[in-house]
Chain A
Amino acid sequence: MSASFKRLMEDSREMSRRSFLAIAGWVGFTAASAIALYQSLKFVYPNATYEDPPAFKADAPGTYGVGSTTVLIDKRVVINHDPNGFYAISLICTHLGCTPRYFQDVTSDLVDAGTSISKDPDTGQQATKASPALPGFKCPCHGSRYFRDAINFFGPAPRPMDRVHLEVAPDGKLLIDRSVIVDRAFRLKV
């Protein structure tokens, strides 16, 4: 009786050791596979890209008259010079990344159609029946529209276009860094 019980105990201990090893083996295998998968993802995730560097130089500040809007199309950046200073817009639609285009008038067709257009929260300008035309940007992909200061007012765009940092470089030219996104109140006074 005791001998067979002892054997049963030994058997079950043997079995549990075996199943423990089996479980440990499968856990190890799963963990190793997960790590391998993670490493594979790391492999295809680029560490360095050879894209156009985000910072570049434009012309000297004096070139841009007060009230002007300059589209630097191959850099996808807009330089606005307002009476209170310069600011730069990253010309990438916040909806799905198309390049909006600048127009002298992005509002009058909406005013004609009776669509109510919100007031520009920064400049306070509003398109009305009396003066329907406001300058701004229209995106060709899904029809988002922005005021001249990059604030969206129509279409699927979820937020205003990004403002990026600009400063005057030692050689007197404007240095624009597209990788640094700045606050909407940012202005560069020259």
Chain B
Amino acid sequence: MTVIRAALDEMFAVIGQMVGSVFRHGLPLTDKIAARTALTNFFLHIHPVRVRRSWIRMSYTLCLGGLSFFLFIVLTVTGLFLMFYYVPSTSHAYQDMRDLQFVVTFGGVIRNMHRWAAHAMVITVWLHMARVFLTGSYKKPREFNWGVGTLLLLITLLLSFTGYLLPWDQLSIWAVTVGTNMAKYAPIAGPYTRYLLIGGRVVGDNALLRFYVLHVVGLPLAAFLLMVVHFWRVRKDGFSGGL
């Protein structure tokens, strides 16, 4: 009997140690415990430990920056799902889209989510920028971070544009034909830029592969790096809050 009790005690101790190793400070019932958690947790440490109430007022930030980042995560996850069923070649791409819509369980919903989240991200990034402008938050010392934000808006648009070609439907090919022909008008480097961008003279297999690589690796990586800098700068320059 005592042996069993001792074994049970040992087991609970081990389980307790396991739980304690992950949740080191228990529930954030007091400010002190919460602060410790925020200070030591990698993911929570993206925030300062303490903030003024005015900084996080919903009517001030509207959570637009946070929502833009969240939509980026949604797009990463849904995009990953779509990649399981998508081959970037002119002979497969369109059929894969039809399959996603009609054959794959919830394929249509995932594709729709990816599409609408991309539209939503353009809106939230744009509104975030409008909010920052209207509150004058780009002023010293945040000039640099405003510039980083502008580049992030640009990358958001480029991600949308590269993603637009991937379904390989009539909407895709003509939007990209027109878009890349615009590059052709740039002085001197124009025609070379277009050839480089679409890997040929017409929007075909090479263009599809190039846009795919940029869409799923190149541009998200650039966006991620700029976001890391953007958030770091928010921490270092301080929240702009409170006019």
Contacts and interface: CB of A to CB of B under 8 A. Distances in A.
A and B touch in the complex (CB under 8 A): yes
Nearest to B213: A44
26 contacts: A41-B196, A44-B199, A45-B195, A46-B195, A46-B199, A46-B200, A46-B206, A49-B199, A49-B200, A49-B204, A50-B205, A51-B202, A51-B204, A52-B202, A95-B181, A96-B177, A96-B181, A96-B182, A97-B177, A97-B178, A97-B181, A98-B174, A98-B177, A98-B178, A141-B174, A141-B178
Interface of A: 41, 44-46, 49-52, 95-98, 141
Secondary structure at chain B's binding surface: helix, strand, loop or mixed?
A: helix
Given A49-B204, A98-B178, 12 more contacts: A44-B199, A45-B192, A45-B196, A46-B195, A49-B199, A49-B200, A51-B204, A52-B202, A96-B178, A96-B181, A97-B178, A98-B174
Contacts of A46: 195, 199-200, 206
Contacts of A49: 199-201, 204, 206
Contacts of B177: 96-98
A109 B145 CA distance: 52
A156 to B, nearest CB: 11
Nearest to A49: B200
B196 A44 contact: yes
A97 B190 CA distance: 14
Interface in B202-222: 202, 204-206
Interface in B115-163: none
Most chain B CB atoms below 10 A, which of A45, A46, A50: A46
Contacts of A41: 196
